[in-house]
Structure 1
């Protein structure tokens, strides 16, 4: 006989059965990314701090995830509600998501990433004292090691790196895990100097240009 998981712990698996559940789960910013903050009982405000998003926006999406059954109430912390993910693994039927048309999921995400990155470049140029960058030379450095340039670029300069390498399946997974672990170790609570920063890790088999 299978016993339900305690209210304070996620279940093992959850079968998605509706379009509302599939849409909420696959929302790039507030789906699985937000649910991951509730593998242990937590408040909506705790999750908002963890993903560096506005508390009112996170609270709205927590309510949305709860209404469709992906989150559940695990208890209370004073007047605050504690939530926990319904499961650690979610199964989505193919009929509920257009897996044969991946752009329906990816395109909105990539549009947001590129737009935010472009604004970060404009902000950085403005902080350098030349909003249009018309007075700057463009430097292209070849090879693995670029000269240390923090004194010239200032803190939090936007960066874009593209590398195509030959990897075994084991190395491919190890590289993903290592980059995730690095960012986790580097995460700082020093609010005096630390700023919210975003790293987009995108990996795929093949080259950039399809042939």
Structure 2
């Protein structure tokens, strides 16, 4: 991979699905994610990247998954397996604690909240692309959950749309070490311009990069 630079004013942090159901003890998906999340220091790394982004004036976009309701998908002909499972468990149920943003990782003043995505892509049927382009964003750094589903799908689309894409190895998690390996060692190099650790991202952001 070539040397990565993150121009001030045209780089954004994209945080996918920072919900209690993913990140909090007691969340519906936390038992499946906890081993990998703990091993990479997910919470501390997310907090560091978000804080540094704010310090350098980088815009933060929150990319939330659709919050489920009992009548969702009625009449749908082609649910994906993930959609069917999420609906069965009412993941991120509307109005529930699990569907609330994890404390400290949800939107803060000035953050841009993108329309909720129904599947794995944060671009499909949302306003993400226009929100990025209207703000002159060319470089996107993806963090959040899950590495091999919503992160990977959204980041692949970003690359196809012409954005410079960065994945952060330890600011995400998956339900197995194998899934993390696939996301970053097998699939990621086919589309992402940079695959970095949190420490590497923070080092880049600390540099003065006006262009």
**Under TM normalisation by the shorter chain, which class is it?**
under 0.3
TM-score (norm 2): 0.25
Structure number with bigger Rg? 1
TM-score (norm 1): 0.25
More relative contact order, 1 or 2 (CA 8 Å, 6+ apart): 2
